[in-house]
A = this chain, B = another copy of it.
Amino acid sequence: MDIRGVAALARVSIATVSRTINHVPTVDPALAARVWKVVHELNYLPNTQARALVSGRSRLIGLIVSEITNPFFPELIQEFEQAAVARGYEILIGSTNYESKTMEICARRMLERKVDGVAVMTFGVEDFFLDRFAAENIPYVFIDPAPSRPLNSVLAVDYLAGISEGVQHLAVLGHRNIAFISGPLSRRSSLSRKEAFLACLHSIGLKPNPDWLIEGDHTLDGGRDAMQKILALPHLPTAIMCSNDMTAIGVQHALFEADLRIPDDFSLIGFDDIHLAEYTIPPLTTIRMSCRDLATRAMENLLSRRNPGVGSTPSTASTTQPAGGLDSLNPRQDQPSATIATRLIVRRTTGLPHRALDDLRPDASKQNTTSLPPRAQRQRRSARP
């Protein structure tokens, strides 16, 4: 059943049907009522493809993430989807899995489906596609520092604030030897976090030990492996900061396997504050970055810059959803940046450095500052039957 069928049954022209379902205000209420009646009786649903073809706008927003399997992204996607649906849009998800080939395919799909905007929540898209997006007048927004280009827009995350809170929290507890497990350093957002960490360290007069700067990959496995590398070091830090929560959970696991305890043996701080962080054992101290903020800001940024020349936007996309509303308020922005706040959430993976405990027990034999008691001397917590 198509628009013609509706028009025939409602005894109006197809143009009137089109205007009605698009909520163009100048339709005679009587006719509109007839049209709606037929629409509902027939359960008529407009063909999105046809609409998109003729109007040039797909009401589709592309969302490129690195890895859907990292719980941070589903949380982001959920917020994004809500933000999109609330405004009458849908999202097209692409996950790059950190491969630039896959990224290319994603970008191509976005272009082929004529998305009205793209939010890139992962490492750099190649210039080729940026040019292409620009050429087709498709706004795109990056999280994090990105190449400065026209039509480009970035959402700056205030990494420094949260990480600084984290480092200071550790310093106050007495930690001087802090390791950092980064994400893949090829990604700008990973780099930013690492640099923020280094800057904080510097600002409180600590210098980084290169051995304690490990490159991870933002996965559970990566976190575990990185921690194992650290444990193999001759001198151990007393606290570990991680570039994301998944890494931290991997670290927890490595320590569990090594029979070491958190926070007694090591303090640990994550980043992202995924929902799971509250549920790790012990619950993870971490730095929160608001997905909702990110998603909302990204959406608004994109919509506010939407193709200003072509396609006036009189109306709503769906036969049911009311119009989104205020999307044409903001003027076009070319290098605007919203700032996304971060802040420390203290839970139970941070405590005094293990050295501090020794200091409290004067009878204990003096131990090397940066090494743990030999594993053999420590009891296993749960011997299996």
Contacts and interface: CB of A to CB of B under 8 A. Distances in A.
Contacts of A281: 252-253, 256, 280-281
A253 B278 CA distance: 9
Nearest to A129: B43
Interface in A315-331: 318, 320
Contact of A108 (B45, B68, B261, B384): B45
A348 B275 contact: no
What number of copies of this chain does the assembly contain?
Answer: 2
A43 B81 CA distance: 30
Interface string A136-166: 0000000000000000000000000000000
Interface stretch (A49-57, A188-196, A294-302, A365-373): A49-57
A93 B384 CA distance: 43
Interface in A58-106: 58, 68-69, 71, 73-75, 77-78, 81, 85, 90, 92-93, 95, 105
Contact of A53 (B47, B78, B112): B47
A351 B382 CA distance: 11
Interface residues of A, number: 61
A320 B275 contact: no
Given A74-B74, A81-B95, A250 B279 contact: yes
A208 interface: no
Contacts of A75: 69
A382 B261 contact: yes
A74 B85 contact: no
Contact of A384 (B250, B348, B385): B348
A221 to B, nearest CB: 9
A134 interface: no
Given A74-B71, A276-B220, A279-B250, A132 B43 contact: yes
B385 A357 contact: yes
Interface in A350-385: 351-352, 356-357, 381-382, 384-385
A114 interface: yes
A77 to B, nearest CB: 6
10 contacts: A45-B108, A45-B111, A45-B112, A47-B53, A47-B114, A49-B52, A53-B53, A90-B92, A90-B109, A261-B382
Closest 7 CB pairs of A and B: A49-B52, A49-B53, A281-B281, A253-B279, A48-B112, A68-B74, A352-B385
